């Protein structure tokens, strides 16, 4: 009788450890998913929250001021001021995958030809900057 009882206890221990391992693997999977999501949000937040005029202006913008208006789904017109004594320059900005963008000097999509004058990607700092 004692032997059967001991085997039953051992069997419960084995079942518990399999159950415990399964819980630990699930917890690890959830943890990794959260870490990857936070990393993606910090590295390329536009993939999660989308592109807006403020974050694009912060990313493409000059050292003095910038403002962007959306012309179509992926095309923006941005006014960028780098020089305190000079006026704003206008750029046509096309957004791409992962919140990255290319900018050409000009005021219409016809100006978006050749090599871009500026390029970059929206990052987490661009979302929180004023």
- Domain chopping of the chain, boundaries: 2-43, 50-128
> Residue 100: what pLDDT?
93
DSSP 31-87: HHHHHHHHHHHHH-THHHH---HHHHHHHH--SSEEEEEE-SSSEEEEEEE--TTS-
pLDDT of the residue at 69: 94
pLDDT of residue 4: 52
pTM of the model: 0.68
The predicted pLDDT at position 110 comes to 84
* Of the candidates 49, 95, 90, the residue with the CA atom closest to the CA atom of residue 72: 95
Q: 100-105 and 118-121 as β-strands: parallel, antiparallel, unpaired? A: antiparallel
pLDDT at 102: 94
The mean pLDDT values, 10 residues at a time, for the chain of 130 residues are: 53 68 93 90 81 89 82 92 80 91 89 89 82
């Amino acid at each position: 009788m004692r032997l059967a009882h001991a085997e039953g206890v051992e069997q419960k221990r084995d079942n518990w450890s399999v159950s415990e391992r399964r819980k630990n693997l699930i917890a690890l999977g959830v943890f990794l998913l959260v870490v990857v999501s936070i990393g993606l949000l910090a590295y390329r937040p536009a993939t999660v929250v989308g592109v807006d005029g403020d974050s694009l202006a912060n990313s493409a913008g000059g050292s003095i001021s910038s403002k962007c208006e959306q012309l179509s789904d992926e095309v923006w017109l941005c006014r960028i001021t780098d020089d305190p004594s000079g006026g704003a320059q206008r750029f046509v900005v096309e957004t791409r995958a992962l919140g990255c963008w290319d900018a050409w000097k000009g005021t219409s999509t016809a100006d978006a030809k050749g090599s871009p004058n500026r390029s970059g990607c929206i990052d987490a700092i661009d979302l929180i900057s004023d």
